[in-house]
Amino acid sequence: MKIILKEQGKKIPKIIGLDTIDIFKITLSRVKENIRRNIEDIEFIVFQDSFVPPDQNLVQMITEYIDSKNKSINFDNVFYINRQGDQKYTFSSVPSTVFRISDGDKFSKAIKILQDIKNKEISKKAFLYSPEETYVSLDSEIGQDTVLYPYTYIISSKIGKDVKIHQGNTISNCEIEDGVEIFPYCYIEGAYIETDVKVGPFARMRPQVKVKKGARIGNFAEIKNSEIGEDTKVQHFSYIGDSVLGRNVNIGAGTVTCNFDGKNKNKTIIGDNVFVGSGSMLIAPIKLDSYSYIGAGSSINKNVPSYSLAVERADIKIIPEWVKRKKLFDEVKK
């Protein structure tokens, strides 16, 4: 089987995460599942603006003609199927789901067709609160009894069983295991999330993130190129980059792994059962051994041994009557 992409027509934006050629390949893969003969001698010709979705009627039509007709097929100039030496054949009626995307209206129509095809598949085993406001790419997998809330975008991802994905989430190129809950308005890309993890709301994961069983990623946390251990909590307003965190670690609010020195990305290694207080700056490269404790508001640039407390703060200076002398408030200006 050979696919030839003709650079004719408009270059079309991705349709629910997929190029038109990717959609065409998925359609052919479903044809191939039903075919009774070898199709390696068949040539498929498609244009970059051709929309050929895996509509059940279309898949059946292509399958029947490949199986029974020794002819080439022209789908109304949207795509062609050729065998060497064949005469051209044109269908008298082409499904309305097959067309070339010539404008924004056709693009919107293509989105709706893919949405309907995929949502019908999903609804056989999962729950969609609002199918017309849920967008799942054709190549994504959704597990049994998973719940998808409105305004969810799932692209090229595998979602396990009993997962709850709340409204406004975008999930791309991820694998999410059973029992995970993603709270509203998270952006998760290229992550592997194990069972019983809770994420968000308003969290972000950039590529190459692994979150292990039972971990908690809080609101407005960002994680990049890192591994988060079992039962570890990365709480609100924290940034974890180029890091490995052990199990049962507590990352307090506002903690930052300072991984970039202007030239290189440096690693932060945190052992098991470490407590990092709020507002801490961990200046990489750095290692916090298991059972160490970081006091809130510290900037740490040295390795911390096990069972040690590390705290770095300037002595507080209190200046009595300073506000009155500066007359900063109306009631003390008199």
Residues 308, 305: Cα–Cα separation, whole Å: 6
Give catalytic residues, as residue numbers: 236
Residues 210, 190: Cα–Cα separation, whole Å: 9
Backbone φ, ψ for residue 106 (5° rounding): -65, -35
> What single letter denotes the amino acid at residue 306?
S
What is the maximum span of the chain, computed from C-alpha positions, in angstroms?
102
Burial of 217 (0-12, 13-18, 19+ CB in 10 A): buried
- Residue whose pair of structure tokens reads 């199927």 in the numeric block: 81
Indicate the helix (H) or strand (E) that contains 31.
Answer: helix 20-34
Taking a C-beta distance cutoff of 8 angstroms, is the pair 176, 157 a contact? yes
